[in-house]
Structure 1
Amino acid sequence: MKILVISDTHMPKKAKTLPHQLTKELESADTVIHAGDWKTMDVYNELKSYGELHGVYGNVDDEEIRKVLPERKVIEVQGFKIGIVHGHGEKKTTEKRAVEAFDEELDVIIFGHSHLPLLRYMGKTMLFNPGSATDKRKLPYFSYGLLTIKENLQAEHIFWK
């Protein structure tokens, strides 16, 4: 199973359309996870047209998106529990806020907000921030993430200029 992980699209402010690298990957993904800051429902509707979509709202998302999506969500995919949250808030780091958003044992916590790609473990839980495919800020590359599930769960970032 192939899960495409994105966050912080901020469309149409940061990009008018999804990047070609991303739309090409969307065609072969089994599931898409978006960790918030969509900016408009147009992004949600476009991603939904590719198939199964899970997501949460972020701090820049308007009331229309907040009516459709939760602040945090837990899904189970082939026996793996995946938590999704944007990670915004006050005090602490984005990473700490993401971890503290859940009070159950998870295999992966997916979050965004910082636009900084991250892949590391806290105990047995993988922490995964895909970065942003449309707003790299001062980073040299745009990015998104891929989760692949076979016997185990593997994660990787895809980077491009």
Structure 2
Amino acid sequence: MATRLLLLADTHVPKRARDLPAEVWRAVDEADVVVHAGDWVDVRLLDDLEARARRLVACWGNNDHGVLRERLPEVARTEVEGVRLGVVHETGQAKGREERMAAAYADLDVLVFGHSHIPWDTTAATGLRLLNPGSPTDRRRQPHCTYMTAVAQRGALQDVTLHRLPPRA
């Protein structure tokens, strides 16, 4: 069986946008598992995603406080179709990231992270795949707001796709 994943981070709702873009909400509806790597900012989006997503795997970020930190872990871990998946907000500087995260998360196959708003897809020498979907609401210095989708099947992550959102009107 194949499980469709939607990877999000750094939504910053309502600080950077009033809501997620319509394309992202459609992706939520299509996904079997929604993964959010922190920086929600407001608990309303967590409530909305919990109500709408079939399954939500998420952590808090450095801009999340109060109820968000009470309801979400700093690091979330799960298994999806035999893929050992972790979700954390911060991984430190880009230089040496693969080695640091491979040592810290030796029990995982995939680590989804956020914080930088910069899309990232690399694999450490140990085989740990590191994915940052960027941000669907705050592109910062990136050319586009982004999110990722992927498929977990038979112990492997496949079809990892970075989606670029059109500029907001």
Please report the TM-score for the alignment, with normalisation by the length of structure 2: 0.87
* 2:44 equivalent among 16, 19, 42: 42
Structure 1 residue 153, shift from structure 2 partner: 1.2
| Counterpart Cα distance in 1 of 2:164 and 2:105 | 32
Does residue 95 of structure 2 align to residue 126 of structure 1?
A: no
Aligned residue in 2 for 1:63:
66
- How many residues are treated as equivalent by the alignment? 159
Does residue 23 of structure 2 align to residue 3 of structure 1?
A: no
Q: Secondary structure at the match of 2:30?
A: coil
| Counterpart Cα distance in 2 of 1:149 and 1:160 | 23
Structure 1 residue 96, shift from structure 2 partner: 2.6
Q: Secondary structure at the match of 1:27?
A: helix
68-77 or 128-137, which deviates more: 68-77
* Aligned-residue RMSD, C-alpha: 2.0
Q: Secondary structure at the match of 1:145?
A: strand
1:116-137 deviation line (CA, Å, top 9, x unaligned): 0011111211110000000001
Residue correspondence of structure 1 range 16-27 to structure 2 within 5 A: 16-27=18-29
Please report the TM-score for the alignment, with normalisation by the length of structure 1: 0.91
Residue 82 and residue 95 in structure 1: after superposition, are their counterparts in 2 closer, same or farther (change >3 A)?
A: farther
**5+ residue gaps, structure 1:** none
Q: Secondary structure at the match of 1:12?
A: coil
Aligned residue in 2 for 1:144:
147
| Stretches (4+) displaced over 2 A | 92-98, 100-105
Aligned residue in 1 for 2:117:
115
Does residue 161 of structure 2 align to residue 156 of structure 1?
A: yes
**Is contact 1:94-1:114 (8 Å) kept?**
no
1:9-56 deviation line (CA, Å, top 9, x unaligned): 001010001101101111111010100000011010111122211100
Residue 83 and residue 58 in structure 1: after superposition, are their counterparts in 2 closer, same or farther (change >3 A)?
A: same
**5+ residue gaps, structure 2:** none
| Counterpart Cα distance in 1 of 2:21 and 2:95 | 25
Aligned residue in 1 for 2:77:
74
1:79-101 deviation line (CA, Å, top 9, x unaligned): 11011100166xx4487397168
Q: Secondary structure at the match of 1:49?
A: helix
Percent identity among equivalent residues?
A: 35
